[in-house]
Chains A and B, each alone.
Chain A
């Protein structure tokens, strides 16, 4: 499908900018050369150009506008949006390990739960301020991630998925067991007074909803930005080459086991962060509520539906998994939503394996190409040029932030 796109992207600048343009302002750098000749070539936008910056600015404005608009909705809608953000953060975490490193995890409900319970226990039992519990939740989830990734020293794909599965299954069991700390099967309720927005915000206890909306949105944006940079980094290249060809990666000097373990750690930390926010948002936890295997499946469904290894996939996927069950008229834990998740998962694999964002990304890249201004002198911050030979979809994120 989009296999020829990278070559189109690669060739165009040689035609349009043979001399190597300076990275400063370039007047109207729009699709000369090839585009004009064939009439249907991709619209070329040069990285760092005015048009590029304009598009970026437009993107920022659009995001802010959407957020402002959403924050004005009814309280229960704002709550749903917050839920979307939190699920999206969790899926961003899952995407690192499943999307970019190629290891299917069915145990991310455990990271989500660990983050949630860390915050819940610290706030409810030790009177910690909610925000101060976030680092603790992140660190604990990171450590759990390392532990889950540890078996990848010796075992691969299928077996690793089984390990993650059992981690996901064990988590609620352990929570039920550790009754003194977690409240066991009865659950853990955090008094809403302890979850009130910090005093400096000037927001009252009743405005927790809108407070969490903005906190979650900010964290989501931050996490997406971090994940994007991580995937583009040297380490991210290691992740992707591990996914695409493990043996070749190892032969080229990628420390595959370390990459997998660290990817699991970072992935767990991000999903744990989502869990921590979830506690602040929902205020009451129970082991059988949001931390069972169904949550893991929900996250995987969201990721696959949105688009594996894409930047915006987690957000689109989160919107889908939060609102999909409601469209079908069932509550999010009812049997029908399970059927829907199951059918959607299978259908996606068959009809749109690259996911919604992946599909749109392919479509857009056929029409718009963002190219570095000066290819020979690729600056350090533009090393995100396409990796050697990634599958079509993994390229998407490199050029997606403008859409």
Chain B
């Protein structure tokens, strides 16, 4: 029982991280209609920035805030300078640019900070004794912190989208960019803000996951998370925020249970199982379980 609970807790924790990055993917998809393949590596890069700041003996909270800021600026700049000019041309061009960013950002992080593994301090109490006991299972402080971050972010995003002008305009652009621009919405600024926001969310996912990840902070840290997050975003149909969160949690728990109870998978086939989940979802419902079907006129 307590083993089950512990797996559930670890699944929910990983799932929260997937959900965070999936939210970043969804925000971009809703604005630009593309899957940002570079999202994970952008998060990795900003996490390296945060790590580097902590090595300059700056407090971890400051480092996280700075990483969020850098993530926002980089996201917005990428949209403005690299994505928008080719977005009109075709999907392939955008995907190739994203692919270039994917490999470029990862390697740039390696070039700047070296490929050896870094230890990233956790912003939450994560000592051996920092846990509370639930039904015999240990719930550690950093897991709680990650859950809290996800819940907090969901709250903030709800506030943003429901009650602010920028959020309203982001939803308007996602719904119909031409109509929004005819109503006077500054579509280009909104798109850049969307990418910036998703860069910041990705940065948050990065700084939260690295203290938990088995490989700590290395050049490969974010990749498997990106794969799982893509599956999570896809679960929600790429355009549903709620769907992305549910998808992230489901995939996190599923993964924890599968690796825990099915010995064939046993920890080293996680990405393959994420692949299977993606394919199964796509076959079952190509627009995802929460997504909206769009009619396209030709």
**A positions within 8 Å CB-CB of B:** 98, 102, 104, 106, 151, 154-155, 157-159, 161-163, 165-167, 169-170, 173-174, 176-177, 247-248, 293-294, 297, 300, 304, 335-339, 341-346, 348-350, 353
Contact = CB atoms under 8 A, between A and B. Distances in A.
Given A174-B269, A349-B93, A350-B85, A151 B100 contact: no
Interface string B104-115: 111110110001
Interface in B238-269: 268-269
B272 A174 contact: yes
Given A106-B99, A154-B286, A343-B104, A162 B230 contact: yes
A336 B103 CA distance: 10
A349 B98 CA distance: 11
Given A161-B35, A297-B102, 11 more contacts: A154-B283, A163-B278, A166-B230, A173-B270, A294-B103, A338-B110, A339-B107, A345-B99, A345-B103, A346-B82, A346-B97
Given A104-B95, A342-B107, A169 B102 contact: no
Given A155-B286, A162-B230, A349 B107 contact: no
Given A169-B271, A335-B110, A104 B92 contact: yes
B283 to A, nearest CB: 6
Given A166-B227, A170-B271, A342-B101, A300 B278 contact: no
B89 A353 contact: yes
Interface residues of B: mostly helix, strand, loop or mixed?
Answer: helix
B91 A157 contact: yes
Contacts of A338: 103-104, 106-108, 110
A242 B285 CA distance: 23
Nearest to A148: B279
B298 interface: yes
Interface centre among B34, B85, B95 (most CB of A within 10 A): B95
Contacts of B270: 173
Interface residues of B, number: 44
Nearest to B33: A158
Contacts of B223: 169, 293
Given A173-B271, A177-B268, A346 B100 contact: yes
Contact of B92 (A102, A154, A155, A167): A102
Interface in B19-76: 34-35, 37
Contacts of B139: none
B153 interface: no
Nearest to B231: A166
A335 B234 CA distance: 30
Given A349-B96, A350-B85, A170 B268 contact: no
A343 B93 CA distance: 14
Interface of B: 34-35, 37, 82, 85-86, 89, 91-93, 95-97, 99-108, 110-111, 115, 223-224, 227, 230, 234, 268-272, 274-275, 278-279, 282-283, 286, 298
Contact of A162 (B35, B96, B99): B35
Contacts of A167: 275
A102 B91 CA distance: 10
Contacts of B93: 349, 353
Nearest to B38: A342
Contacts of B37: 106, 161, 165
A167 B227 CA distance: 11
A159 B286 contact: yes
Contacts of A173: 268-272
Contacts of B104: 338-339, 341-343, 345-346
Report the 10 A-B pairs with minimum CB-CB distance, sorted nearest first: A342-B104, A338-B107, A345-B100, A335-B110, A166-B275, A346-B100, A170-B272, A335-B107, A335-B111, A339-B107
B286 A297 contact: no
Contacts of A163: 275, 278-279, 282
A297 B103 contact: yes
B101 A346 contact: yes
B227 A169 contact: yes
Contacts of A349: 86, 93, 96-97, 100
B268 A176 contact: yes
